[in-house]
Structure 1
Amino acid sequence: METSERVRLDTYFGKIARAFTPPERPSSLLITHLLPERPAFVRAVGTVSKLRAVLPKPKSVDMGARREVERSTPCDELSRDMFANPDAATAYLETRAPGEPVVLVDVGGYFAPSLQELSDRFSGRLLGVVEDTENGHKRYAELGSLPCPVLSVARSPLKDPEDFLVGQSVVFSTEALLRGRGDILHGRPALVIGFGKLGSSIARLLHAKGINVTVYDIDPVRRAQALSQGFGVARDRDQAIGAAGLVLCSTGAFALRGEDFTLLKNGAYVATVTSSEDELELSGLPDGYTRANSGEHITRYQTTGHYFYLMNHGNAVNFLHGASVGPFIFLVQGEILASVRLLARGDLTPGLHEVSADDRATIAATWLSYYNR
């Protein structure tokens, strides 16, 4: 990033932070993709709250960004197991923010499995959670009765530009990897599993490239939406997996279980838009499959009479090329800062909440003043 762009970004976040810094700053823990531009956002979180630690998403850490963040804030290792165990989760929170009012800023529902225990057992006060992704939104919604407020930005209109551009980056990276092996998208029927914001964006972009696209989603409403937009909709999921030359997984949950991989036709490619631990049950792959590198960032899985290719080890394929969506992601990050202020007030009831339309308008107007040039 050029120096002028860094200055602009810091100035933008400075203005947003001033608008949304609460009178009494809570402590916070931040889960984030630690990409090259992310330190500016981390600093802003540290302005609206007392940032006690950053937990970078394991598969998306730029070491330069990490070193920059570590000059002022500890970076701790993150895993699903870390917060799946209530004892370990509580002990961690007690280590970083004992007795303090805390906001948890999440990407993907990491805190969800232990949220009730954290709320009950933590020596401080758990003010609530800010969740950034649709996957995480679902994880918290599935808990039913929430012990604290969860402010979700996953379905905010400010996230729509990001979702569209992430879809573009997924298609770009998928095609780049294919071309790196001397292959192309065309002539390879695609199956998109999951027709939410990202899946629908991916399906439209593939279709625009002349690719034959079939869609599958467990939600019949989304299947109807896909059909209305001109996509083929799989009646039989297993048959659709077996007919596809490219399977793109965009569900935020297990799109392919272990036994599903055996349905793939020989030579099919599999790619995802999130981490392998969320989207692919590779641990359930039947015995007998071996792995081998088959080109840059391509793994070949093979057993007697069957083989398929996995892109980027099953992790988000677009992170191979920076996963950049330009300055549009700063809109959502601004809304995360506004969410921290709302939770800091301490007056929201337990349950799912959203930022107000007025706050979103403030963020959008500020963003436009810096990036509509």
Structure 2
Amino acid sequence: MESFERARLDAYFTKIAAHFLPQERVASFLITHLLAERPSFVRAVASLSDVRAVLPKPKSINAAARRDVERSVSVDALSRDLFNDPDAALDYIESRAGGERAVLLDVGGYFAPVLAHLHEQFSGEIAGVIEDTENGHRRYAALEKLPCPVVSVARSPLKDPEDYLVGQSVVFSTEAVMRGRGDILHGRPSLVIGFGKLGSSIARLLQAKGVHVTVFDIDPVRRTQALSQGFSVARDREAALTGAGLVLCATGAVSLRGEDFAHLRNGAYVATVTSSEDELELDLLPEVYTRTAVGDHVTRYRTTGHYFYLANGGNAVNFLHGASVGPFIFLVQAEILAAIRLLTDQHLAPGLHVVPAPDRAAIAATWLSYFNR
């Protein structure tokens, strides 16, 4: 970022933080994509809470941003394994914030498997969780009983611009990867698995480029939505895979299981909108496949009579080009700041919550004053 852009961003977050300053400071743990612009957001979180650790998503760490953040905050390694083991997770939180009141800022439901254990056994108090993604929202909603409040910004109207632009960046990066090998989108029927906010955005953008798009979603309501918007809708995933030259996985859950890959047509490209551990069961692919790097960020999987290409190792393809959505991401980050105050001051009941509409309106008005110029 240019210095004047960074100064404007810092001024914006200072304004937002002042508006949502909580009455009490709590400890916080921040999971985030540590991208180039992210230090400003980290500083804003630190102005409202005592950040005990930043845990960057492993596949989206900008080295300069990490160095910047490390000057004032501990940066720890993040893994699903850490937060799949209740005792290991508890030991970690205790080591950083034992006996304190703490807020967990999540991206993708990392804390969900151990939340009940943390809430029950932590020597301090888990004030609540703030979740940023649809995938994470579903992970918390699927818990039999939430032991504490979870404020989700995943379905906020302030996130709609981000979702559209993420879809745009996914299509851009997928096409760039293909063009790097001399292939193009046109003439390559595409299958979009998942017709939520991201999947529907991707499908529409591909359609606008003249690509024939088929949609598969397990939700019958979303299938009817896809039909109403002019897309072909697959009745079963296996048949859809056999005809697709490009498969874009946008479920936030498992899109392709180990046995599904055999149904891909020869030469098909596979790309995802999130990490491979969430979308693809690559570990369950038969051992008969050999893996060969055949271009920048493209791996060919090949066995006798069958081959396909995987973009970016199965991780979010748009992170190859920075995954930028411009200043619209700052709307959602501001809503996360508002959620810190909500959890800190309101002592919400256990369950899913959202940021109040007046707070979202205040965020939008402030954002417009800084970025609509």
Identify whether the pair has TM-score above 0.5, normalized to the shorter chain.
Answer: yes
Which residue of structure 1 lines up, in the alignment, with residue 195 of structure 2?
195
Which residue of structure 2 lines up, in the alignment, with residue 338 of structure 1?
338
Aligned length: 373
Stretches of 4+ aligned residues off by more than 6 angstroms: none
Give the TM-score, by structure 2 length: 1.00
Q: Which runs of 5+ in 1 are unaligned?
A: none
**Residue 112 in 1 paired to residue 78 in 2?**
no
Q: Shift in Å at residue 242 of structure 1?
A: 1.0
**Residue 54 in 1 paired to residue 54 in 2?**
yes
Which residue of structure 2 lines up, in the alignment, with residue 301 of structure 1?
301
Which residue of structure 1 lines up, in the alignment, with residue 95 of structure 2?
95
- What are the superposed Cα offsets for residues 161-193 of structure 1, whole Å, 9 maximum, x if unpaired? 000000000000000011111110000000000
Q: Shift in Å at residue 367 of structure 1?
A: 0.3
Q: Shift in Å at residue 287 of structure 1?
A: 2.1
Q: Shift in Å at residue 145 of structure 1?
A: 1.1
Aligned-partner Cα distance in 2 for 1:145–1:37? 36
**Residue 126 in 1 paired to residue 126 in 2?**
yes
- Report matched runs for 1:1-373 at 5 Å: 1-373=1-373
Aligned-partner Cα distance in 2 for 1:340–1:238? 44
DSSP-derived class of the 2:98 partner:
coil
Amino acid at match of 1:86: P
Q: Shift in Å at residue 346 of structure 1?
A: 4.8
DSSP-derived class of the 2:295 partner:
coil
Aligned-partner Cα distance in 1 for 2:25–2:366? 22
Give the TM-score, by structure 1 length: 1.00
Aligned-partner Cα distance in 2 for 1:86–1:144? 17
- What are the superposed Cα offsets for residues 203-234 of structure 1, whole Å, 9 maximum, x if unpaired? 00000000000000000000000000000000
Q: Shift in Å at residue 11 of structure 1?
A: 0.1
Amino acid at match of 2:371: Y
Is the contact made by 1:45 and 1:337 (CA closer than 8 Å) also made in structure 2? Answer: yes
Amino acid at match of 1:267: G
Two-structure CA RMSD over aligned residues (Å)? 0.5
Aligned-partner Cα distance in 1 for 2:347–2:272? 39
Aligned-partner Cα distance in 2 for 1:316–1:287? 24
Is the contact made by 1:21 and 1:49 (CA closer than 8 Å) also made in structure 2? Answer: no
Work out the percentage of aligned pairs sharing the same amino acid: 73
Aligned-partner Cα distance in 1 for 2:80–2:117? 16
Amino acid at match of 1:303: T
Aligned-partner Cα distance in 2 for 1:89–1:203? 38
Aligned-partner Cα distance in 2 for 1:110–1:365? 32
Q: Which runs of 5+ in 2 are unaligned?
A: none
Is the contact made by 2:27 and 2:49 (CA closer than 8 Å) also made in structure 1? Answer: yes
Q: Shift in Å at residue 236 of structure 1?
A: 1.9
Aligned-partner Cα distance in 1 for 2:138–2:345? 25
Aligned-partner Cα distance in 1 for 2:287–2:301? 11
Moved more, 235-244 or 333-342: 235-244
Is the contact made by 1:36 and 1:65 (CA closer than 8 Å) also made in structure 2? Answer: yes
